[in-house]
Amino acid sequence: MGKIAFVFSGQGDQYPGMGKDLYEKYEVARKVFELCDGIRPGTSVQCFEGTEDELKETKNTQPCLFAMELAATDVLQEKGVVPDMVAGFSLGEVVAATVSGTFDKETGFSLVCRRGELMQREAEKFDTSMAAVLRLTPAQVEEVCSKYTDVYAVNFNCPGQITVSGLSSQMSAFLKDVKEAGGRAIPLKVKGAFHSPFMKEASEAFEEELKKAEVKERAITLFSNMTAEPYGENVTELLSGQICSPVQWEKIIRNMIAGGVDTFIEIGPGRTLTNMIKKISTDVKAVTFDEYLAEVEEC
């Protein structure tokens, strides 16, 4: 029998009302939201009743997604579904680290709150944006990026899909160059050039926060966005460094598959990671949290 991996989504799939059904139906989920409210008052209300614009603010998105994803994890684990490996996309890596046992819940949530604040602060310093580039290879995308001083390939998601970050003043010309190279570029509704050098100061500040956090013995294998390999003892370096470094998502998934994973459960409010994994491999099962929970509850 193959192994199970929980993969935790990043910013982009959030929506008003996310997690409310979990809060109302499952006591373990309610306890997670109550814990988060105790540290950051109003988190559950923001998840359940916040506007779309409010939830797009990085300082709000990250703690709200963390709360929803941790609540969903506890629901599955209460039903006996425990992962062999975990990974998270961007902010999802903080959730994954918490679920792995690297941090307790209070520490993980406190860290993600600070992470969101720091990244928003840096995003507000520059007029930057992000775009998804389709139908080009990593080498082709990096070649187009090399024509610009401040546009970077940052998220290597799956075959034919790479995200770039950069100055908005250079992005328009970049999008035209992508089209001329045979690709397609889609501007993303993100306020900031995440995982690029524009986030260096946020990375350095978050490193100081991590140095103060208690790191516990890990119970579940945790994969790094930066290296695509399992974490060792270098938690502070990897978790702070990923803020200004590319996300090696495709490599992470391939390494998990090589390690025996044949079932991926996306923990989050959408299906972005599920769709990516299906493009990476057709030999594994990739499902959303809602889909897997429905399967479990039918048994």
Task: Give the C-alpha separation, 122 to 258, whole Å.
Answer: 37
Domains in the chain, please, with CATH? 3-124+196-298 (3.40.366.10), 128-187 (3.30.70.250)
Active site residue 110: no
Single pTM value for the model: 0.96
**In the structure, what pLDDT confidence band is assigned to residue 299 with cuts at 50, 70 and 90?**
confident
Number of H helices, E strands in the chain: 14, 9
Q: What is the pLDDT of residue 297?
A: 87
Active site residue 90: yes
Task: Give the C-alpha separation, 135 to 73, whole Å.
Answer: 34
Q: What is the pLDDT of residue 188?
A: 86
Task: Give the C-alpha separation, 52 to 32, whole Å.
Answer: 22
* Angle formed by the axes of helices 289-298 and 58-78, nearest 10°: 20
Q: What is the pLDDT of residue 190?
A: 75
Catalytic residue selected from 9, 44, 90, 281: 90
Task: Give the C-alpha separation, 259 to 253, whole Å.
Answer: 10
**Amino acid code (one letter) for 191:** K
CA 151 to chain centre: 21
List Cα–Cα distances, 8 to 121, 194, 225, in angstroms. Answer: 24, 17, 12
CA dihedral angle for residue 65, residue 66, residue 72, residue 78, rounded to 10 degrees: -170
Percent of the chain with pLDDT over 70: 100
pLDDT in tens, 95-125: 999 999 999 999 999 999 999 999 999 999 9
pLDDT in tens, 235-279: 999 999 999 999 999 999 999 999 999 999 999 999 999 999 999
DSSP string, 103-124: S-HHHHHHHHHHHHHHHHHHHT
Q: What is the pLDDT of residue 191?
A: 75
**In the structure, what pLDDT confidence band is assigned to residue 205 with cuts at 50, 70 and 90?**
very high
Q: What is the pLDDT of residue 225?
A: 98
pLDDT (average), residues 144-169? 96
Category of 101 on φ-ψ map: left (φ > 0), alpha (ψ -120 to 50) or beta: left
Strand, coil or helix: 235: helix
pLDDT (average), residues 138-159? 96
Q: Are 32 and 71 in contact (CB under 8 A)?
A: yes
Tracing tokens 């520059």 back to the chain, one arrives at 126
Task: Give the C-alpha separation, 112 to 282, whole Å.
Answer: 33
pLDDT in tens, 50-71: 999 999 999 999 999 999 999 9
pLDDT (average), residues 75-99? 97
- In sequence order, the 6+-apart residues with CB closer than 8 A to the CB of 132 are 157, 161, 162, 163, 185, 186, 188
- In sequence order, the 6+-apart residues with CB closer than 8 A to the CB of 58 are 11, 116, 119, 120, 123, 191, 192
Q: What is the pLDDT of residue 58?
A: 94
Catalytic residue selected from 195, 224, 240, 245: 195
**In the structure, what pLDDT confidence band is assigned to residue 4 with cuts at 50, 70 and 90?**
very high
Share the mean pLDDT of the chain: 96
pLDDT higher than 90, residue 298: no
Q: What is the pLDDT of residue 281?
A: 97
Tracing tokens 């373990």 back to the chain, one arrives at 28
Report the residue count for the chain.
299
Task: Give the C-alpha separation, 62 to 176, whole Å.
Answer: 32
Task: Give the C-alpha separation, 253 to 262, whole Å.
Answer: 10
pLDDT higher than 90, residue 73: yes
pLDDT higher than 80, residue 189: no
Token duo for residue 171 = 């992005």
